[in-house]
Structure formats: C-alpha cells, structure tokens
C-alpha cells in the first residue's frame, strides 16, 4: 500500500498474542472483515491506552484492511484516542442539562485542580480531561464519567475526594 507512507512512523509495533486472539474472535463473528474494524481498534486501545500510527499499521497488516480506511475510521469516532491519554480519562458532561445546573463551574474547577486544559494530560500521567456531551443522566446533573463509573450531582467541593478516590484505585 503506497498509502502507508502518509502515516509517518519510525516505530514498529507487533500485536500481542492476546490482541491477536481477541481480534480473531471478532473475525469469527462477522461476515465481512471491515465490520470488525471499530471493535478491533477498541481492543488495541484497551491494551495500549490509545491507537498510535504504528499500531494502526500493525492492525492494517493483520486484518488486511487498507491503512487509509482504518485511519479514517479511527479519526472519526470520539472514543478512539489517537493521542496518548493518562491513566484515568475524566469525562465531565458538557451537555445542556448539566450546564443549566452548574456544569461549567465543575469543568472549570477540574481544570484548575489538575492544572490542565481540555484534551490535556497531567504531568504525572494520571488524568486526562476530555468533556463529553450529555451522558444520559440529566436528572442527576451535573455528572461525570471516570473509570467506567458515573459520578452524579457533582459539587465543586466533592471533586477533590473524587480525584483522590480515583488516584487510590490507581495505587491499588
């Protein structure tokens, strides 16, 4: 594929045996290989935290789909990360119902406490801040998702203890 040249990468990534096994299982389930592409990207992200150019290339070779196709899919969806992220990705809601209930203050407070802007990661690699639209809990606004957990009825004063709690989960 000449298209491979369009994605610069010096690094060579080999998919791990676990990744290969999980991707094989996906391919079993689908009639067409491309139907597995999004889930395969997610598998890689699960193991590596994000999808680098090099891992994209490795996946492209492994499932035999054009790199450009995989890249166009990987860049389209919000939950496929094309940049490294921290241990915990914080998703405070920036939907309208949360904002009506003070969501913006919560997001500003998070930025201040972590000393980062949206899309950035703290120096210690613990937290990445990535607001998401309406998280489907508008009657408990404002809310945030972190570590697959939903934190409801957020108040500024409850944020330090939530961050602490996440940090401790990390230490475990």
109 is in an annotated binding site: no
Scanning the structure block, which residue is given the tokens 């407070």? 109
138 annotated as ligand-binding: yes
Q: Hey, which residues between 124 and 153 contact other proteins (CB under 8 A)?
A: 131-141, 145, 148-150
Cα–Cα distance, 1 to 31 (Å, whole number): 24
Q: Would you say 113 and 154 are in contact if contact means Cβ atoms under 8 Å apart?
A: no
Round to whole Å and give the CA distance between 66 and 122: 34
Q: Which residues contact 73 (CB under 8 A, 6 or more apart)?
A: 37, 38, 41, 80
Alpha-carbon distance values, 92 to 30, 48, 108 (Å) = 34, 23, 10
Q: Select from 20, 42, 61, 87 the one that contacts other proteins (CB under 8 A).
A: 42
Q: Does 154 bind ligand FES (CB under 6 A)?
A: no
* Binding segment (CB under 8 A) for other proteins, from list 3-11, 13-21, 26-34, 52-60: 26-34
88-92 and 127-129 strand pairing = parallel
Which residues between 63 and 102 bind other proteins (CB under 8 A)? Answer: 72-73, 76-80, 91, 94-97, 99-102
Positions that interact with ligand FES (CB under 6 A): 93, 95-98, 134-138, 141, 143
Positions that interact with other proteins (CB under 8 A): 29, 31-32, 34-39, 41-42, 72-73, 76-80, 91, 94-97, 99-102, 104-105, 107-108, 117-118, 131-141, 145, 148-150
Annotated binding site for [2Fe-2S] cluster: which residue ranges?
93, 98, 134, 138
């Amino acid at each position: 594929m000449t298209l491979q040249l369009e994605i610069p990468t010096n690094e060579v990534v080999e998919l791990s045996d676990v990744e290969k096994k999980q991707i094989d299982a996906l391919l079993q389930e689908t009639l067409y290989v491309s139907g597995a592409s999004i889930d395969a990207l997610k598998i890689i992200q699960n193991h590596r935290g994000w999808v680098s150019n090099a891992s994209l290339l490795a996946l492209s070779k492994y499932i035999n789909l054009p790199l450009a196709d995989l890249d166009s899919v990987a860049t389209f969806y919000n939950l496929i990360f094309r940049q490294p992220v921290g241990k915990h990705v914080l998703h405070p809601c920036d939907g309208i119902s949360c904002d009506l209930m003070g969501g913006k203050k919560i997001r500003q407070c998070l930025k201040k406490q972590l000393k980062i802007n949206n899309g950035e990661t703290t120096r210690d690699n613990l937290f990445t801040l990535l607001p998401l639209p309406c998280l489907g809990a508008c009657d408990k606004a404002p809310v945030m998702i972190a570590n697959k957990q939903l934190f409801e009825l957020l108040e500024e004063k409850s944020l330090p203890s939530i961050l602490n709690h996440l940090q401790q989960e990390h230490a475990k």
